[in-house]
Amino acid sequence: MDRNPSAIQKLLSKSIQVEPGEVPALLWSFSYFFALLCSYYILRPMRDEMGILGGVENLQWLFTGTLLAMIAAIPLFGWVSSRFPRRKFLPYVYLFFIGTMLLFYLLMEERVLAVVVARSFFIWASVFNLFVVSVFWSFMTDIYSNGQARRLFGFIAAGGTVGAITGPAVTALLVEPIGPRNLLLISALFLAWAILSIARLDHWAPKESTPPGRVVTVTEEAAIGGSVWDGIRLVIHSPYLMGIGLLMLLFTTLATFLYLMQAQIIRDALVDSAQRTALFAQIDLTVNTLTLLIQLFLTNRLIKWLKLPMALALIPLLLAIGFILLGFAPTVALLIVVQVIRRAGNYAIMRPAREMLYVVLSREEKYKAKNVIDTLVYRTGDAVSAWVYSGIRALGITLSGVAFIAVPLALLWAWVAYKLGQAQQQRAESPHAE
């Protein structure tokens, strides 16, 4: 292979360290995540508005419905991933969501079902988001080595951020001319693009040789095997995976607290539905623009400078400070600032670092156990924390009180994240690490 760097590699090398043989996979991975998050973020403002229309006081029921849907989906995913090779079951997952997206397109024409469809759509979109992103990162941790993950995951995550910027922009631009219903068709097209990216990556990897520094080849043609419940079993029997599960619970608990605080404050501040939808889209746009800048210029450098343990603990520590400030002044402006910092920090730093925790695991753990943590554990945290939040508010505790309650949880999250980062480094240095 020609070792002279191409123009694309020279351009990429200005922000990341990429080898010539990695460029095609890196660009298709970027494209894959772009299409995936663009598809979701076209729909996200619709989901948030439908949650408010269903009643802010009823959001805990929607979170519970999402959890029940996730519990039903876990064994189905386990069955598919056990019996089909990667090159088949990954597209099957996305084709399923394209089919349900088209079903909602038909149902939204029936005005008499508006309330039921709105609530169903909120639950479906919440399941869709976690499943498609979890499968994406499982694929990434499967084809990239630990060293490559540290160098390339920040840039790959930036592809998702570009999609997350494009999605709200598409929604804001087209929602009035064509209506929310027709946005489903555009979202489905981007999801089809993701399937194409999977095919190109799967076609590319087996053709590569396996010298150091290249994408790792695995037995793509073989099904993973096992039972539909292996993901849960693997998590229960591994202290390392249990630790990641606890990290996910703490993350989603604090994210849910902020989401419910945001819904309440914005509902009280803005009475017009269109204004609220526009504000949600503007928040998404701000978050994702900031995320992109961090991913392109800081993520890889921060992980290199801080090392993985501190990179994982950074955002929880900043969030603890944010909750302290909210405890003293739970205003719209401050809450949005904290939310923007939390979400941008999660997408740009915490998420790429968290996905590195899986690189040192077996292929079965990367797909099955990771999917359980990313979906079932995540939505369990959503549902439980939503009910806890509702109970706290029912007791008469103010938003300031909720913020102060969240501070020790954020500090616990930081400690768990730091210890997991240390454990990952030990596994990566082990002679038996993959």
Q: Is residue 5 part of a domain?
A: no
11 assigned to some structural domain: no
Q: Is residue 195 part of a domain?
A: yes
Please give the tally of structural domains in the chain.
1
What is the per-residue pLDDT across 236-267, written as a single tens digit (0 to 9) for each? 889 999 999 999 999 999 998 988 888 787 77
Asked if 220 and 205 count as a contact pair (C-beta separation under 8 A), the reply is yes
| CA 128 – CA 147 distance, rounded (Å) | 30
| pLDDT tens-place string over residues 205-224 | 544 434 444 444 444 455 45
Q: 13 in a domain, yes or no? A: no
418 is written with which tokens? 């730091």
In a domain, 434, yes or no: no
Per-residue pLDDT tens for 162-172?
898 888 888 87
- Torsion (CA) 353, 354, 359, 363 in degrees, nearest 10: -160
Rounded mean pLDDT, 26-45: 89
Residue 72 in domain? yes
359-381 pLDDT per residue, tens: 888 877 887 888 888 878 887 88
Would 405 be classed as within a structural domain? yes
For residue 9, being part of any structural domain is answered with: no
Q: Name the residue range of residue 189's domain.
A: 18-429
Q: CA-to-CA distance for 298 and 293, rounded, in angstroms?
A: 8
Local structure of 417: helix, strand or coil = helix
For 305, left (φ over 0), alpha (ψ -120 to 50), or beta? alpha
Q: Torsions phi, psi of 223, nearest 5?
A: -70, 155
pTM for this structure?
Answer: 0.72
CATH at 245: 1.20.1250.20
Place 2 in a pLDDT band, splitting at 50, 70 and 90: very low
Mean pLDDT of 390-403: 89
- Residue of 285, 303, 302 whose CA lies nearest to 344: 285
CA distance between the termini of the chain? 26
